[in-house]
Amino acid sequence: MQDPSDDFAPLVLHLPCGVPAAATLSLEDNLRRSGWRVRGHAERVLSPEAVRAIAPDMLLLSGDARQGDALILQLRRLCEIPLSAACIVLLNGATPFLRIQMLRAGADICCALDESPEWMAAELIAMFERRRATSPAGPPRRWRLCSSSRYLFGPQGERLPLTPGEGLFIGRLLAAPNQRLPRVGGPGGSRGDDVTVARLRGKARLHGIDLPVCAVRRWGYLFIDEA
């Protein structure tokens, strides 16, 4: 499965120590299905400067308990440079003492690899969203559609999954002059778009998202992006 190539999607940089475990590869797939971009590097000695140039939102280090010393060294090297990324370590067979060492070396969380990939992905996403919600506000960002049109990303970390039809409509609306889309005729035109807007707004409410899309009677549709 391809990553959403939109720069607005959160980026995970995975640095496995040795051959990636099947569980971590499945975790990558689950994160991608949630709209994240994932980059994996089999070379765990990727320099801190190279990591900073990639500018990930989350660093994911993984390995076996026998590789604990190497992972601790990597953590300490990465902590020598300023990074705003959350740092997660996934360890197979780690003792509580080794997990504490990972935290002291700079990890935000050290998890075992015996949990389901679906659950781990949900935990990481929830942690990242809470972390971003409490971070200082940066430059304003706008609503954007990922290149696959499967997700709409908002300026406050919103992530709304879209059907192909919804993605097509949002793409037309965002690309329209001043993000204003006049009605078009035909049975599959304005009436179909009205239904799409209603479904989008209902879905957004279920996700706790205030979607700035509205229908203007007898005229068309607006996307009110105030960023």
Enumerate domains of the chain plus CATH numbers.
11-133 (3.40.50.2300), 144-223 (1.10.10.10)
Range with lowest mean pLDDT among 10-19, 35-44, 114-123, 180-189: 180-189
In this predicted structure, what is the pLDDT of residue 188?
Answer: 44
Show the tokens assigned to 226.
């105030």
Residue showing tokens 């679906």: 118
Kind of pairing between the strands at 144-145 and 151-153: antiparallel
The pTM of the whole model exceeds 0.75 = no
Q: At 63, phi and psi to the nearest 5?
A: 175, -170
> What is the per-residue pLDDT across 132-148, written as a single tens digit (0 to 9) for each?
766 655 544 578 877 66
Token pair listed for 131: 């972390």
* Cross-strand partners of 110: 89
To 10 degrees, the CA torsion angle through 122, 123, 129, 131? Answer: -170
Distance set, CA 65 to CA 88, 94, 96 (Å): 15, 5, 11
Q: What is the mean pLDDT of residues 97-102?
A: 91
Q: Work out the angle at residue 57's Cα, subtended by the Cα atoms of residues 121 and 49, and round it to the nearest 5 degrees.
A: 130
Structure tokens at 65: 């308990």
